Amino acid sequence: MKTIFPDDLSHRDRHQLLLAGVSPRPIAFVSSLNSAGTPNLAPYSFFNAFASRPPIVAIGPAIAAKTGTPKDTWLNILETGEATISVVTYSMVHKVNLASAPYPADVDEFVKAGFTKAPSTLVKPPFVAESPYAMECRLMENIELRRDIGGNGNLMLLEVVAFHVADSVMVDGKIDPRRMDLVGRMSGSYYSRTTSVFEAVQPPHQCIGIDALPDQIRTSEILTGNDLAKLAYVQVLPMLDGSFPQFSEDYRADSVEIELLASNPMGALYAMLQNGSQHDRALRHRIAKAFIANDQLDEAWQTLLLE
């Protein structure tokens, strides 16, 4: 692994190296007004949430390194103490890029990029009507980052005073991330899209951990680190259940390989037991891996314990 020190890189290379590793990043589409009421709309991927009581988010509008020109967003929020943040969906990406162009301060990016102003409730800047989720914010604190060594970054902590959520992304009273279809910023001109959404539930209890797994499981050449972690979620190391597995008299299955291709680990287990190959450790681990992929962790454990 290569070790790189920030001071050995140009500002551009350092910037791209940082963004390549800290990605994908959510995008804040920030709307602000100056004291004269002139609107500004600009995207920022130096953005995240940091507290929920009260809700606090932060953006990082940097001063341009080449020109020393401060961002209109930064100046406006410092001047008025208010902003809105709208999230960016896949259907908005190229219009958002239009808003990122270096327009003069008196140009309205809502108009240039073809977005609709939606009136806010508690702050003056509007939010983006085309976005399914928006926040009205007030400035809590602005932190200038390492000006003592010529730093050009800023961290603006913003308190969220109102949320706006489209009905179209709600399911049973909660936001469905699949309906949001958000994009994330990566390095260069690359973006990610949240069309591949999966669940990884954090365990609510103390787990046995990977170090407590039996050696024949922990050193498996079949099971991945994620597989082992799922097995290690349990609170107590499982014991072999003598009644596992149970099949009805009319249960039928094809070969192990066919059942695994069909994502049917129980059928594969049946076929393995029928041909007497339960002592084939690699085969058992492949079947257990298929159970894990289906989140059938009890079945995975019992299959692994059929030594």
Place of tokens 């399911």: 171
Q: Which CATH number fits domain 6-193: 1.10.260.40, 3.90.45.10, 3.30.300.130, 2.30.110.10?
A: 2.30.110.10
pLDDT at 39 over 80: yes
Q: At what angle do helices 297-304 and 265-274 cross, to 10 degrees?
A: 20
pLDDT at 203: 87
Predicted confidence (pLDDT) per residue in 163-211, tens digit: 999 999 999 999 999 999 999 999 999 999 988 888 888 889 999 999 9
Least confident of 63-72, 122-131, 251-260, 274-283: 63-72
Supply 64's token pair: 């341009």
Predicted confidence (pLDDT) per residue in 75-107, tens digit: 999 999 999 999 999 999 999 999 999 899 899
pLDDT at 291: 97
pTM of the model: 0.86
Rounded CA-CA distance 222/302 in Å is 16
pLDDT at 211: 96
pLDDT at 189: 92
Question: Mean pLDDT, the chain, as a whole number?
Answer: 95
Domain residue ranges in the chain: 6-193, 210-304
> In the chain, what percentage of residues exceed pLDDT 90?
90
